[in-house]
Structure 1
């Protein structure tokens, strides 16, 4: 490898030029990568609601009502005029209002007041609209122009468009904050004013290469688009720091720069690759999820870390050799403390912290079993945003509501009539529009207007459009979806299909809940295997994983103790991200601990190891914490914001436990570690047997 590295450094100008050219090309390719903002598309193909949507798309021209539009201060004739204007908007496939439920030729006082209040209350009219998937942004803009600022819009298209509008601007805003802050952190933790420039150029090129090569996937989710670059930056910055630290260490021995860099690459490659591999495995575990947002993020993030490893081991050495004189000219004293007092203080309280962690894990385990989760798009709008305000205004006036399309095989009028009656009798149901209800089974099809007929009977199916007084997701909602499916199953065994946002969320819940155990088991198992090979030990991987998993348990339990709900997507992702990104701290600490223990007594080793590694661990943890906080504080998307806070809190917890809890474990279980680790030799203390 020494010869290959030397040849690479001699060809440094050509390699640097190649990477810069590739970066320009990938920068252009990023414009061609499509971004998907609809979470429904990431349900498994075999999910019942996915099958129902596919059938409905093929059989019917219009989908389920997916938008609620409220217009205040209108009379009945004015509401009918608004309905006509809204129906003419391009992209509005269908619109329902009170006149589709009852006859408005009679006084409202004589009608069923519960039905009336679902559509018209205190001078406010509520329309149920079906918006096509294409051109939703333009459609919503025209609807907003018609209803004015006093009106309100709520529904899945509004959530999707909000994500579409905010994602691009928020990514730029996040980067405008994170780059200067990380640059400042690097200035304070390095000994050259120019080194941070090299680090940022190296990781920047890796990020652009990753974003451009995402074109091979065709499209990525907006969650991946928003978080991918920031997580890649935060998780891979260490690799270049490891390399340059080793380069400077070798140069202090008066080794010529070219030879010093060649040695630095050879000597640091193993630790860099081991560190990178654990992060890759943590991200790659997401690929095992049936819910496709996992593979979407897993492939992109794992590829990003892989590209970061390549740029660090090939591009970074060549770039450094092209401008190492600038590093020499801009040297400054270290601003980092020695951590000597911190190490002594930390070493003293390690037993107390160990007891505290052991005590905390029990309630944290119980808290995780009782977390309140959100699974769909309903929790993605930030409080105070127009999306959230409009939704609250509609819910306050008319209550929460959801629409479904229940499709059954056409031709059995008696079963359809009985099903429609039973569904209408459910207490949550506000209305049912079906062929049997609207037209009547006794009227032949040829006497029914074709437009009305094809909305209900098409492609061999007849459709019941159901409006229910339930929230987008809640235990009540999930119970209602289950009841609807069971009711349809009685009349149409294994042939009824249910579509709608709530059905999608229900299937999302069922899918990603089943994913959690599998994803965590794969991540923990694969990383344990890497650690087993790295340390040649049976017990050390257990102690390292116990440390990081303890920090994950505490991190995830916090929402329960603060009384807040947690998005399940963030819950799944943080388990893999925190494990893959912070297990490096435990690896670094353990490697240095074993080196120190070979040269000093057990009593002195923890403090010395903390002093040696605290700077690197806190720098890495600080970068990940800053990245997470910026995601959490700037993003208006609930899932991304919560994921950012989880990443930041997880980085802090992992760093603390590695510096306090892990040394206590290594010290307390030293005899067991000696017996279960190959070729391990510790400092011979007086009166102690040596293994």
Structure 2
């Protein structure tokens, strides 16, 4: 293997040119990758709401209202004028207001107060607007210009456009913070000023290549686009650090740079690849999700880690050989402490911490299943954004509202009338717009204006547009969706379709919840198999995974105990990300512990392992924590911000448990480990460390 590596290093100029050329090309390709901001597109193709949307798009020219627009301090004539202006905007398919529900020529005082106040209250008018999927940003800008800053808008297109505008700016802002922050961490933890430069170049090349090759997917979600580069940086920096440490050790033995790097690559390849493989598996598990955000993120991140492994084992060695003289010239003393005091302190409290973890484990496991979750886009905007303030202003005055489109087969007017009346009688419903309601079941279609008829009847379906006094997402809303579906099933078994933002969120909830057990089981099972072959042990995978899963349980229990509503997408992703990214800490610790255990008694082996691995683990955790905090505090998108905080807290918890909880497991359960592990040597406990004795071997099964 070393011979092949030396040959690669001799051709280092060509290797560097190839990677740098690929980086430039991928930098150009990055601008061609489409970014999707609509989470609805990631619902499974077989989800009822997805099928309903497809049917509605095929059967009707116009969708259902998806934006609420409020204009303040207007009279009825002024409101009608605003309605005409908004309806004339390119991209606006329809505008519904009070005049579509009642005869406004009749005094409003004798009309239904509830109906009137749904559209006009205290001199303020509320319009239900249907905005087309194309060019939504320009359409909403035009509406904003009409209603002015005093007006307000809310709805899924508003949330989507806001995510699009803010994400593009925030990615640049986050990278401008995280790159200098990572650089400072590396300057502190390395022994040469120039090493930090090499690390950043290596990971930068990997990130750009990964972003450019995303073109093979056509488009990626904005969540993946925002978090992908930062997570790749945080998860893969260790590989290059570990390689360069081996290179320095080999040079310290007196080897020439070329020989030292060949030995370093050959000696570290197995460890780096096994460490990277666990991270890849954690991300690949997301591919098993039916909710397509999982595959979207899983493929991109798994590809990113694979590219990082390639750059670390091919590009980094060649670059280092070209620049090792700069490493020597900028060498400095280590700023990292010896961690002896940390090891002593950890040894003193490890049993207490272990008892604490054991006590917390079951409550935390149960708590994460009691968290209040959000599944849609309503919680994405920050509380101080215009989007959130507009939504609050509309809801304070007119209350919450959701629109649904129920499509049923045409032909049975009696069924249509009966279903229409039952829907109107539901306490949550404020209005129903349908053929039998607005035209009458006895009126022939030939007498109804074509533009109105096309909104309600198609060749195969008649559509009932239901407006309910409900938020887009809540338990009451989900219950209402079930109620309408059950009611429609009575009249049209298996032949109806229900569409709407709340229906999408309901199916999103249903899909994501079903995904969680499957994704976690795949991630844990696959990583357990990797650990089984890495350590030749049946018990060690369980202990290492128990350590990381315990940190995940504690991490996920915090929102419950702090009464925080959590976006379920963040919960689902963090389970795989934290497991795949931080199980490396446990692998590193276990490897070093068993190396020490061949020549030390277990108590000293644990002490030396804590002291020897604390620097690497804390550096890695520090990088991941910093990346998470930047996501958490810079992003105004609720999903991304929560995911960042979860990543940061998870990295800290994983590092603490690996340095404190895992040593106790390894020393206390050594009897079990001996019986279930092959090819591992253990120094005799009844001998003092340092005596020339043959270590005893675990009997093989």
* Shared fold (TM-score, shorter chain, > 0.5): yes
Q: How far is 1:685 from its partner?
A: 2.9
**Is 1:513–2:513 an aligned residue pair?**
yes
1 CA distance for matches of 2:298 and 2:369? Answer: 25
**Is 1:432–2:437 an aligned residue pair?**
no
The answer to whether the Cα contact below 8 Å between 1:684 and 1:690 also exists between their aligned partners in 2 is no
Q: How far is 1:689 from its partner?
A: 7.8
1:180-219 aligned within 5 A: 180-219=180-219
Aligned to 1:26: 26
The answer to whether the Cα contact below 8 Å between 1:35 and 1:225 also exists between their aligned partners in 2 is yes
Q: How far is 1:445 from its partner?
A: 1.2
Q: CA offsets per residue over residues 547-579 of structure 1, 9 Å max, x none?
A: 000000000010000001111000000000000
2 CA distance for matches of 1:434 and 1:352? Answer: 67
Aligned to 1:133: 133
Q: CA offsets per residue over residues 269-297 of structure 1, 9 Å max, x none?
A: 00000000000000000000000000000
1:592-611 aligned within 5 A: 592-611=592-611
Aligned to 1:396: 396
SS at match of 1:371: coil
Aligned to 1:466: 466
The answer to whether the Cα contact below 8 Å between 2:34 and 2:218 also exists between their aligned partners in 1 is yes
1 CA distance for matches of 2:163 and 2:61? Answer: 26
2 CA distance for matches of 1:371 and 1:146? Answer: 41
Aligned to 2:356: 356
Aligned to 1:65: 65
Aligned to 1:557: 557
Aligned to 2:547: 547
- Which segment is superposed worse, 118-127 or 681-690? 681-690
Aligned to 1:636: 636
SS at match of 2:603: coil
1:377-392 aligned within 5 A: 377-392=377-392
Aligned to 2:339: 339
Aligned to 2:407: 407
The answer to whether the Cα contact below 8 Å between 1:70 and 1:152 also exists between their aligned partners in 2 is yes
2 CA distance for matches of 1:552 and 1:369? Answer: 13
2 CA distance for matches of 1:35 and 1:210? Answer: 15
The answer to whether the Cα contact below 8 Å between 2:680 and 2:697 also exists between their aligned partners in 1 is no
1 CA distance for matches of 2:649 and 2:697? Answer: 41
Aligned to 1:176: 176
SS at match of 1:405: strand
Q: CA RMSD in A?
A: 0.8
2 CA distance for matches of 1:380 and 1:466? Answer: 25
2 CA distance for matches of 1:605 and 1:138? Answer: 65
Aligned to 2:289: 289
Aligned to 1:310: 310
Q: CA offsets per residue over residues 155-188 of structure 1, 9 Å max, x none?
A: 0000000011011111100000000010000000
Aligned to 2:84: 84
The answer to whether the Cα contact below 8 Å between 1:152 and 1:390 also exists between their aligned partners in 2 is yes
**Is 1:113–2:113 an aligned residue pair?**
yes
- Which segment is superposed worse, 243-252 or 597-606? 597-606
SS at match of 2:672: helix
Aligned length: 691
Q: CA offsets per residue over residues 604-642 of structure 1, 9 Å max, x none?
A: 111110000000000000000000000000001000000
**Is 1:450–2:450 an aligned residue pair?**
yes
**Is 1:220–2:220 an aligned residue pair?**
yes
1 CA distance for matches of 2:154 and 2:71? Answer: 12
2 CA distance for matches of 1:459 and 1:668? Answer: 73
Aligned to 2:690: none
The answer to whether the Cα contact below 8 Å between 2:682 and 2:696 also exists between their aligned partners in 1 is no
The answer to whether the Cα contact below 8 Å between 1:33 and 1:218 also exists between their aligned partners in 2 is yes
Q: CA offsets per residue over residues 234-264 of structure 1, 9 Å max, x none?
A: 0000000000000000100110000000000
2 CA distance for matches of 1:679 and 1:470? Answer: 63
The answer to whether the Cα contact below 8 Å between 2:56 and 2:63 also exists between their aligned partners in 1 is yes
Q: How far is 1:459 from its partner?
A: 3.2
Q: How far is 1:690 from its partner?
A: 6.1
The answer to whether the Cα contact below 8 Å between 1:60 and 1:459 also exists between their aligned partners in 2 is no
Aligned to 1:367: 367
The answer to whether the Cα contact below 8 Å between 1:282 and 1:576 also exists between their aligned partners in 2 is yes
The answer to whether the Cα contact below 8 Å between 2:429 and 2:467 also exists between their aligned partners in 1 is yes
1 CA distance for matches of 2:619 and 2:602? Answer: 27
Runs of 4+ in 1 over 4 A off after TM superposition: 687-690
1:262-273 aligned within 5 A: 262-273=262-273
* TM score, norm. by length of structure 1: 0.99
2 CA distance for matches of 1:339 and 1:311? Answer: 31
2 CA distance for matches of 1:597 and 1:689? Answer: 11
Cα–Cα, structure 1 residues 689 and 613, in superposed 2: closer, same or farther, change >3 Å? Answer: closer
Aligned to 1:143: 143
SS at match of 1:419: helix
SS at match of 1:58: helix
**Is 1:40–2:40 an aligned residue pair?**
yes
1:158-177 aligned within 5 A: 158-177=158-177
SS at match of 2:684: coil
Aligned to 1:675: 675
1 CA distance for matches of 2:452 and 2:619? Answer: 66
SS at match of 1:45: coil
Q: How far is 1:448 from its partner?
A: 1.1
Structure 1: runs of 5+ lacking an equivalent = none
**Is 1:617–2:617 an aligned residue pair?**
yes
Q: How far is 1:443 from its partner?
A: 1.2
The answer to whether the Cα contact below 8 Å between 2:683 and 2:696 also exists between their aligned partners in 1 is no
* TM score, norm. by length of structure 2: 0.98
Aligned to 1:49: 49
SS at match of 1:393: helix
2 CA distance for matches of 1:686 and 1:502? Answer: 67
2 CA distance for matches of 1:43 and 1:504? Answer: 8
Aligned to 2:480: 480
Q: CA offsets per residue over residues 38-89 of structure 1, 9 Å max, x none?
A: 0000000000000000000001011111000000000111111100110000
1 CA distance for matches of 2:61 and 2:3? Answer: 66
Q: How far is 1:686 from its partner?
A: 2.2
SS at match of 1:369: coil
Aligned to 2:536: 536
Aligned to 2:241: 241
SS at match of 1:577: helix
Aligned to 2:692: none
The answer to whether the Cα contact below 8 Å between 1:628 and 1:645 also exists between their aligned partners in 2 is yes
Aligned to 1:156: 156
Q: How far is 1:543 from its partner?
A: 0.3
1 CA distance for matches of 2:506 and 2:295? Answer: 20
2 CA distance for matches of 1:363 and 1:593? Answer: 30
Q: How far is 1:366 from its partner?
A: 1.9
Q: CA offsets per residue over residues 349-394 of structure 1, 9 Å max, x none?
A: 1100000000111211221121100000011011100000000000
Aligned to 1:275: 275
2 CA distance for matches of 1:73 and 1:333? Answer: 70
2 CA distance for matches of 1:222 and 1:199? Answer: 27
